[in-house]
Amino acid sequence: MDYLKELAGRANLDATWEAWSLEYRVLAIAVALALAYWMLRVAVPAVLRVLRPVLIAVFVLAAVWVLFPEATCSIELLSKLPVVCAR
């Protein structure tokens, strides 16, 4: 950890963003974008795998609501949602 602090001190990275040189700003943005891309590649499939049953249920409910809005609004839980059963 001390080694990283020493490197950050040499590069003047403990200062504000405006004090960073252009090279370090570009490097920081490139690393942040690469990390964000990697996180999306890892997280999105995992989240979709976990939420797949919920997404299927929402899709089926939306299809039933489009075809039969009165019957869908007769369900007590859904009748309380103003977006679904707005008159």
Q: Which of 37, 48, 3, 45 is nearest to 11 (CA)?
A: 3
Q: What is the pTM of this model?
A: 0.46
What are the pLDDT tens digits along the chain (87 aa)? 788 778 777 776 666 777 778 888 899 899 999 999 999 999 889 888 899 999 999 898 888 888 887 777 787 777 777 776 765
Please give the Cα distance from 11 to 20 (Å, whole number). Answer: 8
Cβ 79 vs Cβ 85: under 8 Å = yes
Cβ 72 vs Cβ 65: under 8 Å = yes
Please give the Cα distance from 65 to 73 (Å, whole number). Answer: 8
Q: Where are the domains of the chain?
A: 2-79
Cβ 44 vs Cβ 36: under 8 Å = no
Please give the Cα distance from 25 to 20 (Å, whole number). Answer: 6
